[in-house]
Every structure is written in structure tokens, then in C-alpha cells.
């Protein structure tokens, strides 16, 4: 029960005491029971850091939510009902829009006698006496300053809150009687600016579904530690720090030698490395420095790249590091730059090639709110190129993807990845590196005994990944910085 319902029940008890009703004991027992449940609910929400509570009947569809640090979810069962305590922020750090906790579903009644029109949520916008506009939306009289502040802080939720200009354009496009006459447009401005009201129930359901999608992505992630660190990730880990670790890829390498391709993975489930904090980047740079030192010992170089094909899928982002011979590294920067100029649609909104520099490094040149591709051969990421992927989210349709979708998908999202298709190939970086190595082998008149496949990458078996790890560890142990952590502990 809500606080208002408990107050009404307490009023019934007082009335029963005055009237000497026989059901007084039953009312008191009901009040004690509901009051205890309300206090337990309040303390539960407070312990979880001020989350939003929402009850749902469809418990089977929602599924059980385990209590762990990554999801901040709690499930309380009561028959077929379940109480789902949602975090205040979503996976991207944005506040959930769950509506006003004390608002009603219908717009407020106008105390000045404004009447409801046509049985719908359309109210007169003009004063009947003066003819002046008194409101533009049905909820203008009931929106408080606190509600406006909350809406300003929301970047999730309904489109009318996120982008009112798009809402206005949509209302104009669907109006068959729209006129180019400015006077007529002014008279109908209140109708074009009217927001499509979303009830609080729909807003809360949006938050529940978004949390369930995030929870599903975390449970399926191969790179995350599960059960608060009790279960290691389902990838072949080489060495680990406190904020990041090094792993062997689940698919075949893009380099000539199978042990020259590794992953640098953050511990936290970041959708892109631009979301990582400075501590995480410090450990990532330590791994990059060690890889550069390992490559320099053999007269080679390293190229680092990250491919964020979709944000809706909430896949765990990683940095791929490929050790290449010096002749190949001399060609890689130019080939990447020319290849990025040819990808994407002809009428791209963003620059196809975003160059990194010391004044504008990777973390300042791109934004975490858009899918992107980034490549660099410098552990500071002061040199390299970036590219904003403009159409991958719409192609994927928001489906929760496999964590390694950018490695092993059969070009489903790329559709070939060429300029004619206007789509970005998830295997773009692999194909560029393999193409450079192929050209070098052709120029030298030798294939090097390495058969390269383009597009789809073959998955490795568990035995093969263990064998690759053993070969990589023979050289990695000489430069592994994580051994200092073990010695200090």
C-alpha cells in the first residue's frame, strides 16, 4: 500500500473504534501487516542507493535478477508478483525517466473551467475571453519546476523530452492540412507543439525493459567476471591487472603468426573505451607499452584498434593489438586512411577520417555516444585515425549481440562493407591488415605459408587457444608488467 492508502486504512480503524465495530481487530492486523511491508520496501530501496521501485505482474518474462555489483538489482517474490528495484541510472549513466511518482495518468483538471475536447487528451489552448494562447500542451498547468528540471536532465525516455524539435517536425509531417501560410501556421502552433503524452506506466515499463536488456547483456558477456568475481571470464586470459587484462582472441589472428594478435580488455563492462576512467587507461597503456617493447625486440611494430559497431547491443568493448613486421607497418597508416575514405555512405554526416594528434588525441577526438572505429600505433593514441559509424545501430535493430560480433559475424551487419552498400564492415581492420600482408608476400614472391581469409574469421578451439597462449607466454613473460603486482602482494 501507498502512504495515502495506509492513512485511509488508519482512518477506518479510528472510525471502527468510535463506532465499536466488530472488525476492528481485523483492520488493525491488516494495518500492521501493510505498514511492515511498506517499511521493508522503503529500507530495501534505500539500501540500494536510491533506486526506483516498480512492481510487475509478468514475472516469468522478466526473469530472476541476481544481486551483484554490476546490475544492482534485487528481486522480492510475493506469489506471482515481484518487486524489481531498478538503478537510478542506465548502462550509459543516464537517468531513467519513470515519470512523476505522485502524478496521475490523465492531465490535471483546469481550475478555470477549460473543457476537454472530443473525449481525448486535447484541451483548449486559448482563453475564451481574450483569445490569447494560455498553454501549448495538456500538461502545462500540472508540470512543476522540479519536473522540468528532471526532464532537462533526462537523456533517455520519450522523444518529446529528448528532441522536441523532432516531435514538432513529425506533427507537421502527419498534418494533411498543413499550410505554408505564416498566419495559419501561427494559429495552429499550439497543435503542432503538442507532445504525445506517455503515461507513467509506460515510462516505468521502458526503464524495466532497458534494465532487463542490460542484465541479459551482462549475463551473456564473455569478458566479464560473473558472480562478483567468483567466475572468471570465458576467454583465455594471459595476464591480468586490477582494471584490465590481456587475452587470446577466440578467432584466428589477423597477423602472420597466430600468437601476434591479442586483446586488451577492461574489467568493467564498458560499451566503448571512451567511457573508461583514467585508472583503467593507465593499465591499458601498461599493456600497450609492454607489447611495443616486445615487438621492438624483434624489429617489429604494433597497431592498436577498437571497433564499436553498436551501442544498443551493449557489447563489451576491447582493444585489439596486432604485431606486424616493419615493412607492413610502413604501409598500414596510409592504407587505413585511404580505406576509411571509401567506407560509409556517400552523404555521411561526419568526417570519414578523423585524425588524432597530440593536441586532439583519441579520447578527445571521438565521443562515447556514437559507434566508431579507431586505430593507432601509439600507446598514447596521439597518432592514428577515427571514423564514426553512422548506420550500424539501425541495421542491428537494437538486438543484444554476441560479444565477439565484430570478429566472427559473417558480414551480416557489414553487408560487404564496401562503399556501394554504405555500411561499415565489422571485420574492416582485419581485412585491411590481411590485405597489406598479402601484398607484401606477393611482392616478395612468397606466401609465407599463411593462408588468409577475408570477411569471416574462423573460431578457434579450446586446445588451439591454449596452444597459442603457451607460444605467446614464452616471449610475454620477459616484459609482463603484472608480475610486479604479484611480487608486491
Q: How far apart are CA 471 and CA 300, in angstroms?
A: 17
* pTM (predicted TM-score): 0.62
The reported pLDDT for the residue numbered 181 is 82
Per-residue model confidence as pLDDT tens digits over 391-403: 654 444 444 444 4
> Which residues on neighbouring strands pair with residue 264, listed in sequence order?
246, 319
The reported pLDDT for the residue numbered 332 is 94
Positions of the chain with pLDDT lower than 70, given as ranges: 41-84, 92-93, 97, 99-126, 133-163, 190, 194-201, 229, 344-347, 391-422, 444-455, 487-489
The reported pLDDT for the residue numbered 440 is 86
HSE of 7 in the Cβ direction (CA atoms, 13 Å)?
Answer: 3
Per-residue model confidence as pLDDT tens digits over 350-377: 888 999 999 999 999 999 888 999 999 9
CA distances from 101 to 41, 54, 83, 98, 104 (A): 15, 11, 16, 8, 9
Q: Which residue has the cell 602482494?
A: 489
- DSSP state letter for 83: E
Q: How far apart are CA 159 and CA 408, in angstroms?
A: 34
> Strands 244-248, 372-376: parallel, antiparallel or unpaired by DSSP?
unpaired
Q: How far apart are CA 230 and CA 354, in angstroms?
A: 41
| Rama region for 319: left / alpha / beta (φ>0; ψ in -120 to 50; rest) | beta
The reported pLDDT for the residue numbered 155 is 54
Give the E-state strand segments of 309-411 in sequence order. 319-325, 354-356, 372-376, 384-388
C-alpha of 348 from chain center? 23
The reported pLDDT for the residue numbered 207 is 78
Mean of pLDDT over the chain:
75
The span from the first CA to the last CA of the chain, in angstroms, equals 52
The reported pLDDT for the residue numbered 363 is 93
CATH number of the structural domain 225-488: 3.30.428.10
HSE of 355 in the Cβ direction (CA atoms, 13 Å)?
Answer: 8
Q: Which of 70, 43, 107, 370 is nearest to 218 (CA)?
A: 70
> Where in the chain do CATH 3.30.428.10 domains reside?
225-488
Q: How far apart are CA 419 and CA 391, in angstroms?
A: 13
* b (16+ CB within 10 A) / e for 146-182: eeeebeeebebbbebbeeeeebbeebeeeeeeeeeee
Contact between 280 and 267 under an 8 Å Cβ cutoff? The reply is yes
Amino acid at each position: 500500500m501507498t502512504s495515502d492508502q495506509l492513512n485511509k486504512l488508519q482512518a477506518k480503524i479510528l472510525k471502527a473504534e468510535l463506532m465499536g465495530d466488530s472488525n476492528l481487530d481485523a483492520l488493525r492486523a491488516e494495518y500492521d501487516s501493510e505498514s511492515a511491508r511498506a517499511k521493508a520496501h522503503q529500507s530495501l530501496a534505500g539500501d540500494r542507493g536510491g533506486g526506483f521501485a516498480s512492481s510487475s505482474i509478468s514475472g516469468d518474462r522478466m526473469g530472476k535478477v541476481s544481486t551483484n555489483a554490476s546490475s544492482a538489482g534485487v528481486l522480492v517474490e510475493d506469489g506471482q508478483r515481484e518487486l524489481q528495484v531498478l538503478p537510478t541510472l542506465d548502462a550509459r549513466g543516464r537517468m531513467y525517466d519513470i515519470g512523476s511518482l505522485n502524478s496521475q495518468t490523465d492531465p490535471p483538471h483546469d481550475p478555470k473551467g477549460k473543457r476537454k475536447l472530443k473525449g481525448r487528451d486535447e484541451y483548449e489552448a486559448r482563453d475564451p475571453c481574450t483569445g490569447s494562447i494560455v498553454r501549448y500542451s495538456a500538461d502545462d498547468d500540472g508540470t512543476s519546476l522540479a519536473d522540468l528540471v528532471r526532464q532537462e536532465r533526462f537523456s533517455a525516455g520519450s522523444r518529446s523530452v529528448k528532441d522536441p524539435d523532432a516531435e514538432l517536425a513529425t506533427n507537421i509531417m502527419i498534418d494533411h492540412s498543413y499550410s505554408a501560410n505564416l498566419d495559419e501556421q501561427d494559429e495552429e502552433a499550439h497543435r503542432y507543439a503538442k507532445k504525445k503524452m506517455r503515461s507513467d506506466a509506460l515510462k516505468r515499463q521502458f526503464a524495466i525493459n532497458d534494465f532487463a536488456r542490460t542484465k541479459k547483456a551482462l549475463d551473456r558477456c564473455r569478458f566479464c567476471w560473473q558472480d562478483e568475481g567468483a567466475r572468471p571470464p570465458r576467454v583465455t586470459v594471459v595476464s591480468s591487472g586490477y582494471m584490465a587484462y590481456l587475452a587470446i582472441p577466440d578467432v584466428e589472428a589477423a597477423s602472420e603468426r597466430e600468437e601476434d594478435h591479442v586483446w586488451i580488455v577492461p574489467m568493467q563492462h564498458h560499451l566503448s573505451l571512451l567511457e573508461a576512467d583514467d585508472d583503467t587507461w593507465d593499465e591499458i597503456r601498461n599493456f600497450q607499452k609492454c607489447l611495443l617493447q616486445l615487438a621492438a625486440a624483434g624489429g617489429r611494430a604494433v597497431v592498436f584498434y577498437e571497433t564499436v559497431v553498436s551501442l544498443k547491443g551493449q557489447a563489451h568493448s576491447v582493444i585489439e593489438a596486432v604485431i606486424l613486421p616493419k615493412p607492413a607497418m610502413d604501409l598500414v597508416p596510409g592504407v587505413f586512411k585511404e580505406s576509411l575514405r571509401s567506407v560509409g555512405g556517400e552523404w555521411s554526416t561526419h568526417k570519414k577520417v578523423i585524425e588524432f594528434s597530440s593536441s586532439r588525441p583519441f579520447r578527445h577526438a571521438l565521443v562515447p555516444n556514437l559507434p566508431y572505429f579507431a586505430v593507432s600505433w601509439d600507446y598514447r593514441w596521439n597518432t592514428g585515425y577515427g571514423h564514426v559509424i553512422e548506420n550500424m545501430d539501425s541495421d542491428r535493430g537494437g538486438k543484444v549481440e554476441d560479444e565477439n560480433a565484430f570478429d566472427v559475424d559473417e558480414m551480416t551487419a557489414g553487408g560487404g562493407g564496401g562503399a556501394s552498400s554504405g555500411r561499415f564492415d565489422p571485420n574492416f581492420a582485419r581485412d585491411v591488415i590481411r590485405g597489406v600482408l598479402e601484398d607484401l608476400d606477393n611482392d616478395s614472391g612468397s606466401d609465407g605459408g599463411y593462408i588468409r581469409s577475408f570477411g569471416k574469421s574462423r573460431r578457434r578451439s579450446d586446445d588451439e587457444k591454449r596452444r597459442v597462449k603457451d607460444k605467446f607466454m614464452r616471449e610475454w613473460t620477459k616484459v609482463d608488467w603484472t608480475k610486479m603486482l604479484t611480487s608486491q602482494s
